[in-house]
Structure formats: structure tokens, C-alpha cells
Structure 1
């Protein structure tokens, strides 16, 4: 957790190490592919889900909520074993990284209680600008990286946990569930499948419903096997450096910062008006997606809200499972998305606004999706990205994290806290309607005021 101010924010209630049920999972490993390796040294993903439980007490928290979450997580790990394992990175490029599960491995889950008025449940679950620092108390670190040595060949390696959970009680208000995931483990699609399984098991108390849906994780890496791409990506991901002589620790957010986060809603009516505007300017375009116009509008507002010339790049992921030829199973476990990078001069975006960004995003999408050899062969233009400020997009209109129901109803609010690392934005289906979009934005206070005015005036 982040460093505390003068008075503590949380009291730790209990800490558990949750493993799959005994003898249900044997020692296993899962090699990383080039999709996974992109994220090797990148920051983890942090989610926080808030649940409105006005009658929750410490007694109910200890006797009902804690056992339910522990037992359901244990059962879920039986099917999603990599979440209980560790990322293994070797100091040279001669051996590929892997997710390794050894019997006895576990997920660290911390139960705590808010004990400071600065962590106000109703304030945290609003859409208005809120201090980013407050959320850092609700997300757990992954845990320390450990240097180990292989027994068979005397090879050193770094072992890194891939999942950590923190559940925080706000007495007479509700609870939050903070989840931290190493991004090399899984993309948003796999994370969503894991959460769907965990919530289903939490609601019913068994995995019968999950089994009946026949949506088990697909672990076969051969469907995207590409040794040459794996080797090339590994060199890029590790910056052609050795981990042998440096202590690598997973990044974690901490305060103080001068940033606030706010939530903005884009309605279906607004999306349709933006689509119509694009088609008016470019009538030959056969299809304009919701994602294109939504990202274009947010990007143009961000550029206009900032006085510097640093906001030049927008980067987002393109899901590859259904687009590959042949297609990859929908339940494929891991990362299966390629980056699409849009680069523009800031002056162009400021002067031409939304139309310029929509045209650029549409052209880049078309270029990547029509690359000869299919999406699996598309490459990110690393040389153009390095050393320049980027705006990343986390999530998509197809993701609805408001369906994450552990048995207490849908979340009152969800936040992707990891957008704070590098100026990203989050996108998700809105709580009120799947047809509306919800954006999470993290900015310095003054810029947030400018952004909000530009967004609403537009």
C-alpha cells in the first residue's frame, strides 16, 4: 500500500494465502508468447470495485464475506491455475519467460478496514474529480520479486507474483475489492473470464454453473506459436538488458501526487452524432465504429486541455482472437492483442480537432487490420514510440465491469487505477446503460478543469 499520512488510512484485519484445493492442480508452466512479452517490465493492472452494502458490519465481514471470497477464489484457481503462479524471468534471452505454478503457490489476499474519514465511500464512488492518492490505499502490491536458482542447471531467475487482492470494509457503507494483475499474465478478455468465473462461484458456492457453461481456459500456445517473433519481442521488452545485475521490482502507485481522477459519460446519442459528423466529412468511409469516434473525441479534448506539445501519440490494443486466420479460441488464456499506434502533430489536433483524430485512428486501424499475413504478424512501430509521450486506452466498449457481481449486486462504481501510471484513459460500458460509454480520466487538477469544460462544450 502507499505511504500513509499522519493518521493511518486502514487497519489490516486478516491476511490469507489462497491456493487451489489440494491435489487439484499439478505443477505446470505456461510459456509466454510475444503477446505477453510486450508487458514484461510494464506496470501492472489495478482494478477497484466498490459495492454498496449499507448494513455491513465487522461481524458479517469476518463470518460471511471473508470465507465466501476465500473459498470461491480457491475453487476458481483450480481452473485458472496461472493466477496462483509466478512469472519467471531469466537473466538472459536464451530461455523464454514463463508463468510457473508449483503446488503450494498461492494468491495473497488482504482484508482491511477503512479507519480514516479521508477515505469516504460516497466520495470515492462519485464521478466528480477525486484525489488520485486516496485510491492507492485500496490496491495491493503484487509482492516482492525474488531471485532463485534452477536446481537442474544452476541458472538464476527472477520470480514475480502475478495476482494480489485486497478487500476493504467501509462500515455501514460497503466494501471495495482491489485487484492487481501483472499484465504479462493476461489481457482484458482473459481477466474478464477469470472474474466471471470467480463471481459465478462466489454467488452459487460451487463451480457447477461455471462447468456447465463449458468456458474453460484454453492453454495451448501452439495456436499462436511463432519462435522468431517471440525472440524478437523478448529482446525489445527487456530493453536488451540483463536482469542478472539489477534488482527489478514491479512498479506500484503511491502518493502524494497533484492528480485527480474523474468519470465522464458519453451517451449513445452523442456517439451517433459524432459518427454522423465523420461520415459527413468523409462520405466514402464504409464503417465508423463507436470505439473510433469515442477515442477520437477524448483524444482531441485531452490535447486541447494541455498547453504543452507532448500529447502526440494515442495507443490502444486490437483484440486478435476472432480476427486471426485461423481464429483463436475465445477462451484462449493470456494476452492476445496487438498495439495500434496513432501519431499526430499536436498543432494538427488542436486546429482540426475531432475530425483529424477520427481520420487518423480510422486509417491506422485499417492499416493494422489489413496487414499482409494477418493481425498476428502486425508489429508496433517501437522506433516511433520510444521517447515520446503516449496516451493509452485501457478497456473497450465491449467490456462491462459493472457485471462483476460476487453476490451483493452489481458494483456501485469501478475504477481502473493503473491509468495513473502513464496518462492513460479507461473505457468501459456505462453502469446505467450498455449503450453508453464511461471514461476514466486522470489529470492534474487544473488540466482536469480545462478538459471537463472542453468535453462538455463539445
Structure 2
């Protein structure tokens, strides 16, 4: 979801003192239609069939190409509140700004087709701004593809033309499946218990608050240096990877496990393995070349494992960094090696209050999407409260920084905030 300030206008759009809702909506609708001519699968419908073990896109006589578009208006006072990083927001507030999509399980057969993309434009009157709420099925695209689509839509709105190099290619034959993973994953999808992969929103968001935290380049560098110094001081091997992603995730994981444990008696703290699940880019990890503008979903699932008692110890950040680095290294060696287990590995993590589900990537530059009104004031990943996840995106204000989106019970959020702030000052765990 993107929140855009209408006062941050750029050249190319008509300047008037009385720019109306209809005028803004007209620009966005017209450019969306143009963008869908290039990214036509988003305008298709999905048909899922358990009998034939297939999920297919339908576009033609059976389903005319279209994207459901909702126009709404919100209390104007909410705009600045929703854009703030420094306050805790009710998790349910943002769901009013995003449309709903039916699940794949409810899209069985040609008589029960579901859209692949839905959009809601919500206006905040008196010139404050508007939000673009987006919901799409991951079966049609990953975040890399969706990022291309958003940049193309924005460029068509602002400039009337597509940026060079963003026109997608739809040749699915470029992604090979020599191990026959397609039927294995489809079978496991249909065999999974409903709600175990994507929980129902109504049951997941009650009592949660959302906050955004930022790690700047200086914070990340300090954390890297601290980890290396601690390894030398304790005569232990360095983690196999210490990228900004690994360092940020390790710090978040250690803070969160400790925050979850605060207020619990020592005897009530559950022991045993903790999982840290994340999505990794697949195109660059395949052993053959796939065009960068390939349209589709080409990602891998990674799962790091560490013992809870170790994450709670003084070496929690080191333990987390080593576990996450090892999981990434395994994907780098052979991205599809354990792909047949991805769904079963995912089920214990999604919706869990104990394990971590990381979504998004700081490499996706959604804050550079400009429809003609400047950068978005705030980008939120709505699914994190439903999925009990944590989102990462590039920072809007700090070049090279990472924004971290959290949705937690208030007591846990307060504890996490204190640990995060204190950890950035001295990394004393």
C-alpha cells in the first residue's frame, strides 16, 4: 500500500487550484489501463482445479480482461497519522485501505474465477493525499515483477510512456523444471489444511499494533563491526555471510525473541528450535540465465533454525547471523535442492507468534515509484499482521537504510522498541 501526498507534484501533470478526486482518479485509471496492456496477466482471472492439479490464468471469451478498482474516501485527519513511523497504529486501520481477493481454493473451475489483482484508491480530502491499496495473488508475480509493474504504471501516468527495459517477457519455458517440482508442490498445496498457508484476516489482527523502525547504513556497519569483534573476542568463527540483509535480520530476530520472552517466568519460556523464514530471489540463483524482465513468480523459500535459549543468550545476534547466513548459503549452492519441502517448512512459521516470517526486500525500490506527485510518503505491507510477519523495504529518507515493519501485541511492541533502540546504541545483549 502506498500513501501519496498530492502537494508533492511534479511537472507533467496539470496544475490547478481545484484538482478534484475525479481528475486524480482519471489520471490513475487511464495510465493503469495502459500499463495493463503490457502486463496483461494482471488483468486475467485465475482458475484452480484440484482434480486436474492445475492453476491457470484465464483471459479471453470466458473472462474479459479487467482489474477490480474501488474508489473510496477516508476521514482526512487520518492521512498524517497513517504516514507516521514514530507512532503505534492500530493494525486494522490500514486494512480499510486495501481491497480483498478471494483465495485460490475458492477459485475452482471456470464458473468461479477470481481476479489476480485488485486496487483501491482512497482519497483524503482537502488536498492531503491519497493511498493506492493493492492486493494480488503471488501465483501471478513475485515482488520483483510487481515492482516493474508499479514503475511502469507510474511512468505512464507521469510521462505517458514506459521506461526503457521494463517491458516484460512472458516465455515460461525459460524457467526449467527438470526435477518435476510442479506436481509435487501443487499436491502439497491441495493437501495442506485451509488456513495453514494463509490465515483468515478476521482472526489474526485483533489487538495488534503496527510500527516502523529504521536501520541506517551507519547502524548496519556498527552491527557488522560488533559481530566481528565479538567473534574475535570469543574465538568463534565469523558468520559465513554478513550482508546488510543478514545483519539487519539477525538483529531483529534477537530483539524479537527477547521481547517475546519479557514478562514470562523463566519456566514458561519455551525451549527448542526457532525458525526464521524468508523469501529469496530465485532468478539470480538458478544455474542458467533467465531474463531480468521475466514476468512471473521466481522465488525461493529459506528457513534458518536456531535454538531459542541460544537466541536469548548474550550471543543471540551472533547465533542469528550464523543461522541466517547458513540458510542463504544453502540456497546459493542449489536454490531448488529442498524445494519439495517448502510448503511443509512454511506451515509452522506462518501465523506463528514464536517463529519469524520475513517478507519484502530492501532491494525493491518502491519508494522511487512516482506517479507525478513525488515519492510515496509511506509504504506499508498489510499482510504482516495477518501472516504474523515482518516487512523489509528500502528507507525513504535514509539512503542505503532499511525500513522494518512490525505488527505485534502492544506489550511486545513496547519491549521490542526498547531493545531495538538500546541495541542500536551499544549492541549490548
Which residue pairs with 1:232 in the alignment? 184
8 A contact 2:279–2:299 mirrored in 1: yes
Which residue pairs with 2:228 in the alignment? 279
Q: Deviations over 1:340-390 (max 9, x none)?
A: 10122211111131111001111111122113xxx2444245555544533
Whose helix proportion is higher, 1 or 2? 2
2:276 and 2:211 map into 1 onto residues whose CA distance is 20
Larger deviation, residues 213-222 vs 267-276? 213-222
1:287 Cα deviation from its structure 2 partner = 4.7
Which residue pairs with 2:137 in the alignment? 182
Change in CA separation of 1:297 and 1:165 when aligned onto 2, cut-off 3 Å:
same
Change in CA separation of 1:240 and 1:130 when aligned onto 2, cut-off 3 Å:
closer
Q: Does 1:113 align with 2:106?
A: no
Change in CA separation of 1:59 and 1:143 when aligned onto 2, cut-off 3 Å:
farther
8 A contact 1:338–1:378 mirrored in 2: no
Which residue pairs with 2:413 in the alignment? 448
Change in CA separation of 1:171 and 1:276 when aligned onto 2, cut-off 3 Å:
same
Counterpart among 322, 340, 357 of residue 302 in structure 2: 340
1:442 and 1:58 map into 2 onto residues whose CA distance is 39
Counterpart among 57, 76, 81 of residue 123 in structure 1: 81
Which residue pairs with 1:326 in the alignment? 288
1:309 Cα deviation from its structure 2 partner = 3.4
Change in CA separation of 1:58 and 1:426 when aligned onto 2, cut-off 3 Å:
farther
Q: Deviations over 1:320-339 (max 9, x none)?
A: 21221212111111111110
1:182 Cα deviation from its structure 2 partner = 1.1
1:166 and 1:338 map into 2 onto residues whose CA distance is 29
Q: Deviations over 1:110-135 (max 9, x none)?
A: 11111475xx1111110121111111
Which residue pairs with 1:422 in the alignment? 387
8 A contact 1:265–1:439 mirrored in 2: yes
Q: Does 1:214 align with 2:214?
A: no
TM-score by length of 2: 0.84
Change in CA separation of 1:305 and 1:432 when aligned onto 2, cut-off 3 Å:
same
- Gap regions ≥5 residues in structure 1: 1-47, 151-156, 244-248
Which residue pairs with 2:259 in the alignment? 305
8 A contact 2:53–2:187 mirrored in 1: no
Counterpart among 342, 346, 365 of residue 400 in structure 1: 365
Which residue pairs with 1:138 in the alignment? 97
2:103 and 2:169 map into 1 onto residues whose CA distance is 29
- The within-5 A match list for 1:246-261 is 251-252=200-201, 257-261=206-210
Change in CA separation of 1:176 and 1:316 when aligned onto 2, cut-off 3 Å:
same
8 A contact 2:46–2:107 mirrored in 1: no
1:234 Cα deviation from its structure 2 partner = 0.5
- Give SS of 1:435's match: coil
Larger deviation, residues 399-408 vs 293-302? 399-408
- The within-5 A match list for 1:59-98 is 60-92=19-51, 94-98=52-56
1:445 Cα deviation from its structure 2 partner = 0.7
8 A contact 1:142–1:250 mirrored in 2: no
- Give SS of 1:398's match: coil
Which residue pairs with 2:246 in the alignment? 292
Change in CA separation of 1:325 and 1:179 when aligned onto 2, cut-off 3 Å:
same
Change in CA separation of 1:185 and 1:178 when aligned onto 2, cut-off 3 Å:
same
Q: Deviations over 1:94-149 (max 9, x none)?
A: 342112222522101111111475xx111111012111111111011125887675
CA RMSD, 1 decimal: 2.9
2:294 and 2:402 map into 1 onto residues whose CA distance is 26
Change in CA separation of 1:377 and 1:129 when aligned onto 2, cut-off 3 Å:
same
- Gap regions ≥5 residues in structure 2: 10-15, 262-268, 424-429
- Give SS of 1:66's match: helix
Larger deviation, residues 181-190 vs 270-279? 270-279
1:77 Cα deviation from its structure 2 partner = 0.5
1:262 Cα deviation from its structure 2 partner = 0.3
TM-score by length of 1: 0.78
